[in-house]
Amino acid sequence: MKLENGEKIIFKVHPHWFYVAFPEIALAIFGFFFSILTYTLLQKWIVILFSIAILLVMLLVFLDWLCINYYLTNLRLIEERGIIGKRIVFIPLDKVQDVTCKFGILGKILSFGDLEIESAGTYGKIVFSFIANPRKRKEEINKAILEFKANRNIMEGKEGK
């Protein structure tokens, strides 16, 4: 991801580890039991192919998690995702209208949740899904917005003189 002139990253996060751990564990358990149960019933090469397929799916799940990045910079909020092709969506800080923090029961226990960032105009909405410590991240976003607006007001005051 390319930053603009004068842009600095305040935070960069991936989704919470649970985003990748739950599917990985479920796939490993499913693959293990399927292999054990079918090893005597099916030909061994079918079990081996199935095991390889499970491992490839597990690799894709991990790479998907690794390639999801959420950024807060001093100028904008950015969501970047994609293993091969990249999809980058951003909202300038001056266009942010609302930041909502959402938790489920498991999210409260493991300290993860979603941040919904709504914007004015055509920028739409970005959801930072499964991020750790969403309340802390929300505070950081609100602080960055206030600093951005204060800096903009200072610059506009200097230009007016």
Domain map (residue ranges) of the chain: 9-161
Distance separating the N- and C-terminal Cα atoms of the chain = 37
When mean pLDDT is compared across 24-28, 37-41, 67-71, the lowest value belongs to 37-41
Which residues on adjacent β-strands are paired with residue 115? 101, 128
Predicted pLDDT of residue 160: 56
- Segment 105-115 shows an average pLDDT of 92
Q: Write out the E strands in 32-124.
A: 69-73, 76-81, 87-92, 96-102, 112-119
pLDDT at 154 over 80: no
Reported pTM = 0.83
Residue with tokens 């991936």: 14
Instruction: Please give the average per-residue pLDDT across 122-138, as a whole number.
Output: 92
What pLDDT is stored for residue 161 in this prediction?
54
Give burial (CB, 10 Å; 0-12/13-18/19+) of 84. Answer: exposed
CATH of 9-161, one of 3.40.50.2000, 2.30.29.30, 3.90.950.10, 3.40.190.10: 2.30.29.30
